[in-house]
Structure 1
């Protein structure tokens, strides 16, 4: 068996103090449709969300006191032999700031584990064990409903690690090729999602905007509308004023309306006085947009909007979107996009996964300076967004529908974020590491049966920014 690697991806030093080894017995757990698929995969696709869960049997058969210090954002290869899969459990006791925390590896759950606090320990840590890499990644447990409140106002939004969802409101009963999400928008918000990909149908005779995915309505039981979805987002932001949401809005569907008509409908009916929306064509700092929706428009504006904001136009401009790309520059220059989506055979999913890993590596490379720190320039250029779609599909191939893609892509990206992300030279291209951001990672089928491991991993990487605060 391999030796255990521990990655401390938190802002507090940890020290491994005690290793106990127990007999283990596999225990049955609930399997989601995604989990049923991924549990059959091996190698790179194994992750904590799909690995067999094991329960402790009896007393510890071995107990060893150790001293393995692991600094903030440090990786240590230990001399602790990993557990024999399905037969053993290792209980690890860590110390931080004089208090102790425990975690079982692997645990009795198929998912991430919140470490047990001993002797009144104050901090909260989330552990994710990646069996294929013999790696235990430890994150600071984020309050997912308000994770942005931990970050300074001065950071540009593009410096953050932001979880997103693709075709975000498509959680309803629909064609398998249309449905992309397991849970509704409110539940996504409560669990940390802050980028929403919205597609609307535009008619020539109505300002009602039905939510669609390509040519299809998102629900077989009746149309769902943009306004109702916005009310959900507004309610969440009212309850969590520290948060900001980026919303990409695009025209799709069979309606005869134009991009220009859509821009007028949105401005006249929905965007109001700007208290709810940020519409300046500039990447904002976090402090400028708390409690607001940041508009990223994937549509052309009506000419009447060109004079807005002193003639600079209206909203973040995503109207010239690079198509089916590995690393495309948005026409306005505000973002670099990975949106390779034409997966025509199930084995091509691996190509998609590799593109996603490479974009994560690019996102981790830039540095962002704060006021008062070396390299900071008032009104200097801001790093672009790195937008990384994990989604892909093929309408004519059931093996390439969104749920099937997610079954392979999501566990693979969890593994990358736990084992290789933010480690110099460990990415596909061997790039250097700056702030270790993930960029905006746009996902399908998160939250299925309560599994938010991928979102937790993305949010967890924001702790790297806190080292500089």
Structure 2
């Protein structure tokens, strides 16, 4: 067996102090061991490298005092033998710089991430994910997912953050398998940290009602769902959580005969109000400018009457010229670089999709943003912020059941959890060996998160914002 590697992805130094070893056995579950992201179709996970779940079977068989100090965003390869898969559990006790101790079993008896046990009133909370393929324990700060943006400095541009998103966000209703992309409701997604929504609406030529669709199909087989009702949910959330901001991408799809221009006028006249809830300036904002607001990313052309808005700059972040089916495409407006390879025509092409995602995550990790008072900030402040890096994990093929959204997510999501835990923002570990800057993930747009309460992928993305918090302390 390989030695245990510890990756501390928090702002706090941690020291491994004690290792206890136990005989283990596979935890009871749905048959064969599964991975961190669970699915109703368990056979899809046979290639996943996130750990199987194991429970302690017997009394302690070994105990060893150790000392391995792992600084913030550092990786330590110990000489502690990793647990024998399916047969052992090692219990690790860590101590922080204030002397408080935390404990975790590796692997855990749960198929998901594990929150460390706090000993003797320890104040902090840490989430761990064990990646068996690399014998690596990744430790994240346990962010309050409903208000995680509260910890990010006001002066960071929104494009500097690691932002989890959902593809075809409202497609969580009973629908065709090729149409449904999500497991959790809009409110659940928001409460669990999702801050990028991908919305598609049908536009009629004679009505201002906007039905929610996925391509030509309604998002629900039990009745039409409307944009206005989705907004009510979002408004209620941001009023309860004023530290948060939501990027909303809006695109015209469906069978309606309305135009992009009509859509833009409907949205402005009926929904965008007086700017209290929406940010419609066509420039990338700082997080302090948009707390409590929805940031408009329009994937539609505006009516000419909106060209004069914002001093002649237009209306909304411009995603109207969207690169199609791309590995690394630049939006026509230059505000984003997008990985949106979605034409997965055979199941083996999913691996190609996963590699495109890894490459784009590496690109997103390279830029550096400076805070006021830091070296280089003045020059940077005069320049436009670096673009958003947007990476879609989604893909589909209507004619191939093996390539419907849930089945692609069942392979892509665990693979990206593994990458974020093992290789993301690790010098020389990315696909192209790029330099590591702030370590952002950019906007990561997912399918089927939250299934059976599993939000591990979202937690991993949110967790990478701690790297920005570390700069705030410095």
TM-score bracket, shorter-length normalisation:
over 0.9
In the alignment, which residue of structure 1 is the partner of 2:12? 12
* 1:436 matched to 2:439: yes
Distance in 2 between residues matched to 1:371 and 1:161, nearest whole Å: 20
In the alignment, which residue of structure 2 is the partner of 1:274? 275
* 1:405 matched to 2:411: no
2:159–2:387: 8 Å Cα contact kept in structure 1?
yes
In the alignment, which residue of structure 2 is the partner of 1:131? 132
SS of corresponding position for 2:414: helix
SS of corresponding position for 1:296: strand
Distance in 2 between residues matched to 1:201 and 1:28, nearest whole Å: 46
The structural deviation recorded for 1:39 is: 5.9
In the alignment, which residue of structure 2 is the partner of 1:92? 92
In the alignment, which residue of structure 1 is the partner of 2:55? 55
Distance in 1 between residues matched to 2:466 and 2:376, nearest whole Å: 21
* 1:379 matched to 2:359: no
1:29–1:53: 8 Å Cα contact kept in structure 2?
no
In the alignment, which residue of structure 2 is the partner of 1:34? 39
The structural deviation recorded for 1:29 is: 2.4
Distance in 1 between residues matched to 2:156 and 2:389, nearest whole Å: 15
Cα distance 1:388–1:68, how it changes in 2: closer, same or farther (>3 A)? same
In the alignment, which residue of structure 2 is the partner of 1:307? 308
TM-score norm. by structure 1 comes to 0.98
* 1:121 matched to 2:126: no
Q: Which one of the candidate residues 454, 459, 470 is aligned to 1:456? A: 459
Cα distance 1:33–1:21, how it changes in 2: closer, same or farther (>3 A)? closer
In the alignment, which residue of structure 2 is the partner of 1:230? 231
Distance in 1 between residues matched to 2:376 and 2:347, nearest whole Å: 46
The structural deviation recorded for 1:36 is: 3.6
2:44–2:410: 8 Å Cα contact kept in structure 1?
no
The equivalences for 1:413-432 within 5 A come to 413-432=416-435
The equivalences for 1:51-90 within 5 A come to 51-90=51-90
In the alignment, which residue of structure 2 is the partner of 1:296? 297
The structural deviation recorded for 1:33 is: 6.6
Distance in 1 between residues matched to 2:215 and 2:104, nearest whole Å: 45
In the alignment, which residue of structure 2 is the partner of 1:388? 391
Cα distance 1:38–1:407, how it changes in 2: closer, same or farther (>3 A)? farther
Distance in 1 between residues matched to 2:4 and 2:180, nearest whole Å: 39
1:38–1:46: 8 Å Cα contact kept in structure 2?
no
Q: How many residues align?
A: 464
| Deviation by residue 1:23-73 (Cα, 9 ceiling, x = unmatched) | 11112225787264466422xx321xxx43111123211000000000110
Distance in 1 between residues matched to 2:338 and 2:190, nearest whole Å: 23
Cα distance 1:259–1:39, how it changes in 2: closer, same or farther (>3 A)? closer
SS of corresponding position for 1:34: coil
1:162–1:459: 8 Å Cα contact kept in structure 2?
yes
SS of corresponding position for 2:382: coil
Distance in 1 between residues matched to 2:49 and 2:402, nearest whole Å: 19
SS of corresponding position for 2:180: coil
SS of corresponding position for 2:255: coil
| Deviation by residue 1:91-125 (Cα, 9 ceiling, x = unmatched) | 00000021100000000100000000001111110
1:35–1:407: 8 Å Cα contact kept in structure 2?
no
In the alignment, which residue of structure 2 is the partner of 1:345? 346
Distance in 2 between residues matched to 1:468 and 1:286, nearest whole Å: 16
1:340–1:352: 8 Å Cα contact kept in structure 2?
yes
The equivalences for 1:328-367 within 5 A come to 328-367=329-368
- For structure 1, list consecutive stretches of 5 or more residues without a partner in the other structure: none
SS of corresponding position for 2:348: helix
Distance in 2 between residues matched to 1:55 and 1:41, nearest whole Å: 20
1:34–1:406: 8 Å Cα contact kept in structure 2?
no
The equivalences for 1:171-190 within 5 A come to 171-190=172-191
| Deviation by residue 1:244-298 (Cα, 9 ceiling, x = unmatched) | 0000000000000000000000000000100000000000000000000000000
Distance in 2 between residues matched to 1:156 and 1:386, nearest whole Å: 13
Distance in 1 between residues matched to 2:139 and 2:229, nearest whole Å: 38
Distance in 1 between residues matched to 2:309 and 2:43, nearest whole Å: 49
TM-score norm. by structure 2 comes to 0.97
| Deviation by residue 1:357-411 (Cα, 9 ceiling, x = unmatched) | 0000000000000111011123322010000000000000000000000000000
RMSD of the TM alignment (CA)?
A: 1.0
In the alignment, which residue of structure 2 is the partner of 1:23? 23
SS of corresponding position for 1:333: coil
Distance in 2 between residues matched to 1:369 and 1:102, nearest whole Å: 35
2:45–2:411: 8 Å Cα contact kept in structure 1?
no
Distance in 2 between residues matched to 1:174 and 1:345, nearest whole Å: 23
In the alignment, which residue of structure 1 is the partner of 2:151? 150
Distance in 2 between residues matched to 1:19 and 1:338, nearest whole Å: 42
SS of corresponding position for 1:421: coil
Cα distance 1:449–1:467, how it changes in 2: closer, same or farther (>3 A)? same
Distance in 2 between residues matched to 1:173 and 1:440, nearest whole Å: 27
